[in-house]
A and B are shown apart, each in its own frame.
Chain A
Amino acid sequence: MAVASISNGTMKKSKRSKRIRLILLGGLSAGALAGCSPARQPAISSDNVYTNNFYVPGAGYYHAPFRAWYAHPYNFYDSQKRLYFFGGQWEPDPHQSITNVSSPLPQTAQTVQAARTDIPRGGFGCIGGHGGYYHTYS
């Protein structure tokens, strides 16, 4: 057995990891946390396409077959009501559609752009987020 060795006549379990494989860490340098960049919030436009459940703060989730935003995700299931939500209504069965990407109607895009609210950021990190090098904590 790879993890056991004989010591003083008794089987002794090894206390070290059998194998260490790194899938993210190896070869990366500091600053390589993919996906972490300042938020970009381009304007909502009928010239762009959006997928189902594209979220806009203050407006909700995009329902591609209906080319508009609603308060709940597309085909959201409410277990109490036992109903599915799509296109602004609740129904006993989920909506069936091959459309999972579309452009909003021009009027909808304008309304949503006006209704969108900003997500405040930077409410954490004021004490510790000053950069540095060594053992900020312990």
Chain B
Amino acid sequence: MQRHSLQPRPDWPAKVETIGLTYHSHDEGPYWDESACYELDAREVDVLEAAANTLHFLCIDAAEAVIHNRWWPRLGIPETAVPAILHSWERDDFSLYGRFDLSYDGIAPPKLLEYNGDTPTALVEASVAQWFWLQETHRGADQFNSIHERLIAAWRKWRGKTVHFSGVKEHAEDEMTVLYLRDTCEQAGVRTKPVFIEDIGWDEGRGQFVDLDFDPMEQCFKLYPWEWFWREEFGAHLSKESAQWIEPAWKMLVSNKGLLPILWELFPGHPNLLPAYEAAAPLGGRHVRKPILSREGSNVSWVEGGVVVEETGGGYGQEGYIYQAVADMPNFGGQHPVFGVWIVDHEAAGLGIREDTRRITGNLSRFIPHFFR
């Protein structure tokens, strides 16, 4: 594995904007960063792919253990959500995608940092932007990235139905992510309709969620966390199960850092797992503390010798924390990459790499394209 410095394409902002990456920069600089790229070899890609496939099924097994043992409090799942989770699990409701964040140095087995199984983002950059970048800059090389065609293939199951697509208003990345997924769904021959999360209505007479045309929402992709859904006013209507949501309710079991200690308990010493517990003591003074429910590296503390050496802010943590052993992050001239392996329809489909000078990946960590030979 190597990190190369590159001269960015002179007109890269315009190029990535035309393919949907309108959120390529922020106040502190570029978020899409093509001044560097990672080169992997085919073996390393195979190792990442195999690790993600393995982890996906470990997570499914762990979710089953949660259900069997009724470990809802360990995941901070409200009792009101349990029937819908159980029903969606029993029906094997369709799951489109997820992303494993892995630590990997090219030598030791990749280690699971967390699973973004409910509302993973950084999708347009992984699926589309780096693919077009590759065509222009490394045409003869390969890339671990069949996300686009896998998404289209997965949506084909919904032919003959209408799928609504919903995300929050006034959020560039979310709008583009939802629009991109809708694009792949349309290409699969499925009829789609957009509706913002805030515009979803509840028709008491029909007992259904409706869009702005009062059309019933029977299938809906939502880029909105389940744990927020349940806490809101319309959360009470979710138990009526009038709509099939994508991602489904059972994803609440795996998109939850409370699953990390359960994974370690069920599969102790597994090469793709880091030791994780519900208390700090078993790990001594060197560990990472993470909220059970949090997004984008918020409220994470890195502890060395019993002292917090790095931490991030945020508003999470009320459901409790878990403690995970420190992953030895690779260091490329002060940059720490995290390997996000995408799962589409239960199978590893691609890779997006984000890096930061900090060891905790946060919401401004840069996306770096990759290739392999």
Contacts and interface: CB of A to CB of B under 8 A. Distances in A.
B175 A30 contact: yes
A55 B223 CA distance: 28
A22 B116 contact: no
Interface in A32-51: 32-39
B109 to A, nearest CB: 20
Contacts of B329: none
A132 B167 CA distance: 13
Given A15-B142, A22-B20, A138-B121, A124 B234 contact: yes
A34 B53 CA distance: 37
A33 B179 contact: yes
B358 to A, nearest CB: 15
B322 interface: no
Interface of B is mostly: mixed
B211 to A, nearest CB: 8
Interface residues of A, number: 53
A121 B212 CA distance: 9
A138 B18 contact: no
B197 interface: yes
A14 interface: yes
Interface string B120-131: 111010011001
Interface in B80-121: 99, 114, 116, 118-121
A134 B26 contact: yes
B214 A33 contact: no
Given A20-B128, A136-B296, A125 B196 contact: yes
B292 interface: no
A93 B307 CA distance: 78
A6 interface: no
Contacts of B132: 20
Contact of A123 (B31, B127, B179, B202): B202
Category for how many chain B residues contact A:
35 or more
Contacts of A120: 201-202
| List of 5 A-B pairs having minimum Cβ-Cβ separation, nearest first | A123-B234, A131-B170, A125-B198, A137-B119, A138-B116
B276 interface: no
A9 interface: no
A125 B202 contact: no
A17 B146 contact: yes
B99 A138 contact: yes
Given A16-B142, A58-B205, A125 B197 contact: yes
B270 to A, nearest CB: 23
B18 A121 contact: no
Given A12-B42, A123-B200, A136 B19 contact: no
Contacts of A82: none
Interface of B: 17-20, 22-23, 26, 31, 42, 45, 49, 99, 114, 116, 118-122, 124, 127-128, 131-132, 134, 142-149, 168-176, 178-180, 182-183, 186-187, 193-205, 210, 212, 214-215, 223-225, 228-229, 231-234, 237, 295-296, 350, 363-364, 372
A137 B186 contact: no
Given A36-B199, A36-B212, A133-B171, A22 B128 contact: yes
A110 interface: no
A135 B231 CA distance: 21
A24 B201 contact: no
B42 A7 contact: yes
Given A122-B198, A131-B169, 5 more contacts: A16-B146, A20-B128, A23-B183, A25-B19, A133-B173
Nearest to B196: A36
Given A26-B19, A121-B200, A124-B234, A136 B171 contact: yes
A11 interface: no
A17 B147 contact: yes
Contacts of A39: 199, 201, 212
A2 interface: no
